[in-house]
Chain A
Amino acid sequence: GAVVSQHPSWVICKSGTSVKIECRSLDFQATTMFWYRQFPKQSLMLMATSNEGSKATYEQGVEKDKFLINHASLTLSTLTVTSAHPEDSSFYICSAPDRGGYTFGSGTRLTVV
């Protein structure tokens, strides 16, 4: 079946630094990638939708200058958390639509210290 590979699985970074999260579709072309954020014991909240070759669409309240999304190819989408702060600590998950519905990455646990 369709697989979305997400890296890294976890990352710890210092406050003020930037972190890049990658999601790759391994056996299908992902023209669209959804980026979600999940706080502990809460549901997934859609942050933004990226489309290959065009600008990402951000949900209300999500800072586009802080969460940079790039979808340069049909198999790779990246989320960069810029100037990270402790409040950005969260679980980030990507998801791509496929013929069966949606395939999710395994998630990235970001901890900003």
Chain B
Amino acid sequence: AQSVTQPDIHITVSEGASLELRCNYSYGATPYLFWYVQSPGQGLQLLLKYFSGDTLVQGIKGFEAEFKRSQSSFNLRKPSVHWSDAAEYFCAVGNGAGSYQLTFGKGTKLSVIP
């Protein structure tokens, strides 16, 4: 069964600092990987996704993520965090066999200090 681990429950960074949110997955084949952001009481917004090809993926709002098969990781990065980035971030892995089922990590809450 597929699974996703986000080791950090809560991260606090200063505005302007760099950010890296960790994500490790377990999946038997080539995974479909996603990062979503959720503001309180809201739905999920897709930041970026990896299906195949270039392992460094660019997303919206200045985010990027790198797929590392050898480490089973898909860490999310941003070079300079803005106060508006404070939210909950979820990493998810999709079933590449076509059933489209997503499995989510438990999320990482990002707090930004002005």
Contact = CB atoms under 8 A, between A and B. Distances in A.
Interface of A: 6, 32, 34, 41-44, 46, 49, 91, 93, 95, 97, 100-107, 109
Given A101-B34, A107-B41, A109-B41, A43 B46 contact: no
22 contacts: A6-B43, A32-B100, A34-B101, A42-B107, A43-B104, A43-B105, A43-B107, A44-B90, A46-B102, A49-B101, A91-B41, A93-B43, A93-B44, A101-B32, A101-B46, A102-B34, A102-B100, A104-B36, A104-B45, A105-B43, A106-B43, A107-B43
Contacts, number: 50
Interface of B: 32, 34, 36, 41-46, 49, 90, 94, 100-107, 109
Contacts of A32: 100
A20 to B, nearest CB: 18
A46 to B, nearest CB: 7
Contacts of B90: 43-44
B44 A100 contact: no
Name the residue among B41, B42, B102, B109 with the largest chain A CB count within 10 angstroms. Answer: B102
